[in-house]
């Protein structure tokens, strides 16, 4: 019981430190948020652009589909970025050896980063969703936001597991590892139907879509917001998400531990840069 | 039981040279023990293996051969048990630069089981003990002098009451006053706590002042480990610097070319 209490305090420490960093870099946070809004607008305007070019489509529905894709892209980016910072930021600050020689389990360390990433990611993407929806004057008369949040919460388990895998990359490649996280995020979303139905992709990409948690998150959240789907109605998306989540966390931890051992064997923890 | 027991410890790194990849021994069959409560200093030039030794004991590096135990716990197989006993102060006072001293210390303390209620009182106490002005505990680390930052680094290590304190050139780069303050504090900790200290340093005077025994590391090999006076007697010299020169065959500031 005492061991559990100590690990819970350690987990709190990881979340607390990240919140201090958000506070200290407040203006940067605002700047990145503005950038994310601008980036999302460039995508969501596409629906109106197609109509202006003579295309026939339900603009409001298509705008919402694009908005959900952009918001999930942003959310996944936040989760991967924060988990990648487990190593990258601490290496840059030079604190990594102090954190890695502390008696907290690596699982608690990574789950602490994951917990913060989910809390922070949900708040930021909710703000992004609200700002862009207001901008386009979208209303969602059928929306079931509770189902959407449930899907996001379950999808987050898989996203955190995959983020743990990307978190190890800066340990293996101090110079380029963090950027590889963005590549992983892009590859995941391109096969997941982020702005288009997965059916338009070649068959081999469609197969990849079936093992990507983002596919089910996007499908389910679109059904919840556009058609007001209940949790029961999106069970076909929920169970694959749960299954992938159960697999991805142990996989993420195992990959991270292997990377940590590699770094300790080759003296790569101490390198700064 | 010894506080530290190192036997035939070996650590190699792969380096790229003109001839291709070669293995270079950072630690070459190093054996020694440190008794509980003792302070042992390791002298050596850059690249002699001092920091590698500290990192192996701190569970930050996996060794290739031999063994290392901290209070009977194997550093490779019982990492968590070792980590509860060890803390470290290194040459770089590594912190989140935008966070304050108090925030950095709280972050470190949580990993050792200190809840917010405990750190609210403990952090100001420990900062006061190391001579850090508590009124500045909320200032970002990047606004503090190097000497002040190193005091916070000492506070971070002592906050967790380590049984084994690893000091890796803790006073390098400090001005004379800060250096004396840090050394005085290390001595006070030895007097008042049940702390064993392994000090790696370039500074002969520091080693002689703080340590019960002094070791000479040269290219990963431990050439000698004795009390300062015995070391001088053994090499027939009147100072540690001369003893180092005789033992290694080169001057202390004659740096290894990496």
Query: What is the full DSSP assignment across B137-198?
Result: TTSBGGGS-HHHHHHHHHHHHHHT--SEEEEESTTTT--HHHHHHHHHHHHHHHHHS--EEE
pLDDT surpassing 90 at residue B15: no
Choose among A217, A97, A186: nearest CA to B59: A97
Give contacts of B110 with chain A, Cβ < 8 Å. Answer: 9-10, 12-14, 16
Task: Look at residue B1 in the predicted model and tell me its pLDDT.
Answer: 84
pLDDT surpassing 80 at residue A175: no
Of A6, A17, A93, the CB nearest to B113: A6
Burial of A264 (0-12, 13-18, 19+ CB in 10 A): buried
Distance from CA of B58 to the nearest CA of A (A): 6
Contact B62 A12 (CB under 8 A): no
List Cβ neighbours of A239 (8 Å cut-off, separation of 6 or more): none
pLDDT surpassing 90 at residue B186: no
Contact B111 A99 (CB under 8 A): yes
Contact A21 B96 (CB under 8 A): yes
Of B62, B94, B103, the CB nearest to A98: B94
Task: Look at residue A164 in the predicted model and tell me its pLDDT.
Answer: 93
Task: Look at residue B251 in the predicted model and tell me its pLDDT.
Answer: 64
Q: Is A176 on the interface with B (CB under 8 A)?
A: no
Q: Is B119 on the interface with A (CB under 8 A)?
A: no
Contact A103 B84 (CB under 8 A): yes
pLDDT surpassing 80 at residue B253: no
Cα nearest neighbour of A20 on chain B: B99
Residue labelled with tokens 């059916």: A199
Give contacts of A100 with chain B, Cβ < 8 Å. Answer: 59-60
Instruction: Provide the pLDDT confidence category of residue B106 given band limits of 50, 70 and 90.
Output: very high
A193-232: b or e for each residue (b if 16 or more CB lie within 10 Å)? bbbeebeebeeeebebbeebbbbbbbbbbbbbbbeebebe
Give contacts of B98 with chain A, Cβ < 8 Å. Answer: 21, 24-25
Cα nearest neighbour of B140 on chain A: A24
pLDDT surpassing 60 at residue B19: yes
Count interface pairs A-B at CB distance under 8 A.
95
Give contacts of A99 with chain B, Cβ < 8 Å. Answer: 111
Distance CA B65, CA A214 (A): 45
**pLDDT, tens digit, for every residue of A203-217?**
999 999 999 999 999
β-bridge pairing B213-218 and B39-43? parallel
Percentage of chain B with pLDDT > 70?
97
Instruction: Provide the pLDDT confidence category of residue B258 given band limits of 50, 70 and 90.
Output: very low
Task: Look at residue B116 in the predicted model and tell me its pLDDT.
Answer: 95
Distance CA A155, CA A151 (A): 6
Prediction pTM value: 0.89
Q: How many CA atoms lie within 13 A of A156 on its CB side?
A: 22
Of B60, B110, B115, the CB nearest to A101: B60
Provide mean pLDDT across the span A157-176: 88
pLDDT surpassing 70 at residue A115: yes
Q: How many CA atoms lie within 13 A of A42 on its CB side?
A: 5
Q: Is A126 on the interface with B (CB under 8 A)?
A: no
pLDDT surpassing 70 at residue A272: no
Cα nearest neighbour of A89 on chain B: B96
Contact A13 B109 (CB under 8 A): yes
Cα nearest neighbour of A265 on chain B: B62
Provide mean pLDDT across the span A80-97: 89
Q: Which two tokens stand for residue B93?
A: 């006072």
Provide mean pLDDT across the span B127-140: 91
Which alpha helices (DSSP H) does chain B contain, by range? 50-57, 79-85, 101-110, 116-129, 146-159, 176-192, 204-210, 228-235, 240-248
**pLDDT, tens digit, for every residue of B142-153?**
999 988 998 899
Instruction: Provide the pLDDT confidence category of residue B193 given band limits of 50, 70 and 90.
Output: confident
Cα nearest neighbour of A106 on chain B: B80
Q: Which two tokens stand for residue B200?
A: 């790696």
Q: Is A100 on the interface with B (CB under 8 A)?
A: yes
A41-45, B33-37, B200-204, range with the lowest pLDDT: B200-204
**pLDDT, tens digit, for every residue of A15-31?**
999 999 999 999 999 99
Of B59, B92, B110, the CB nearest to A12: B110
Task: Look at residue B170 in the predicted model and tell me its pLDDT.
Answer: 85
């Amino acid at each position: 019981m005492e061991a559990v209490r100590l690990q819970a305090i350690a987990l709190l420490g990881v979340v607390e430190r990240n919140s201090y960093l958000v506070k200290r870099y407040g203006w940067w946070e605002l700047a990145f948020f503005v950038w994310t809004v601008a980036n999302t607008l460039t995508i969501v305007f596409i629906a109106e652009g197609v109509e202006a070019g003579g295309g026939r489509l339900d603009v409001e529905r298509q705008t919402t589909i694009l908005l959900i894709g952009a918001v999930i892209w942003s959310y996944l980016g936040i989760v991967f970025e924060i988990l990648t910072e487990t190593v990258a930021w601490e290496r840059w600050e030079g604190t990594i050896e102090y954190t890695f020689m502390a008696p907290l389990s690596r699982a608690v360390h990574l789950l602490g980063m994951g917990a913060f990433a989910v809390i922070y990611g949900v708040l930021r993407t909710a703000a992004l969703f609200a700002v862009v929806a207001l901008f386009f004057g979208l209303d969602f008369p059928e929306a079931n936001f509770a189902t959407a949040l449930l899907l996001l919460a379950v999808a987050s388990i898989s996203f955190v597991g995959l983020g743990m895998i990307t978190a190890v990359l800066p340990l293996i490649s101090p110079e380029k590892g963090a950027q590889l996280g963005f590549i992983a995020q892009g590859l995941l979303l391109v096969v997941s139907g982020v702005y288009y139905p997965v059916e338009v992709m070649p068959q081999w990409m469609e197969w990849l879509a079936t093992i990507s948690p983002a596919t089910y998150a996007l499908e389910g959240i679109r059904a919840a917001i556009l058609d007001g789907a209940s949790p029961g109605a999106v069970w076909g998306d929920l169970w694959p998400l749960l299954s992938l989540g159960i697999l991805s966390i142990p996989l993420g931890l195992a990959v991270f531990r292997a990377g940590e051992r590699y770094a300790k064997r080759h003296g790569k923890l101490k390198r700064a840069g | 039981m010894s506080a530290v027991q190192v036997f035939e410890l070996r650590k190699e790194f792969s380096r790229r040279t003109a001839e291709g990849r070669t293995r270079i021994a950072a630690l070459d069959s190093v054996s020694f023990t440190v008794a509980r409560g003792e302070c042992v200093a390791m002298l050596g030039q850059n690249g002699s293996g001092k920091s590698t030794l500290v990192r192996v004991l701190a569970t930050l590096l996996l060794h290739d051969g031999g063994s290392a135990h901290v209070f009977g716990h194997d550093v490779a197989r019982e990492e968590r048990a070792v980590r509860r006993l060890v803390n470290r102060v290194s040459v770089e006072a590594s912190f989140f630069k935008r966070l304050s001293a108090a925030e950095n210390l709280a972050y470190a303390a949580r990993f050792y089981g200190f809840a917010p209620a405990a750190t609210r009182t403990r952090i100001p106490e420990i900062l006061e003990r190391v001579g850090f002005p508590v009124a500045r505990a909320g200032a970002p680390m990047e606004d503090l002098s190097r000497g002040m930052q190193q005091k916070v680094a000492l506070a971070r290590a002592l906050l967790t009451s380590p049984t084994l304190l690893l000091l890796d050139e803790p006073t390098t780069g400090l001005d004379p006053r800060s250096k004396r303050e840090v050394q005085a504090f290390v001595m006070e900790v030895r007097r008042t706590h049940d702390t064993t200290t392994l000090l790696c340093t370039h500074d002969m005077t520091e080693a002689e002042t703080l340590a019960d025994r002094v070791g000479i590391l040269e290219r990963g090999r431990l050439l000698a480990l004795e009390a300062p006076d015995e070391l001088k007697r053994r090499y027939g010299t009147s100072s540690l610097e001369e003893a180092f020169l005789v033992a290694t065959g080169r001057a202390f500031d004659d740096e290894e070319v990496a």
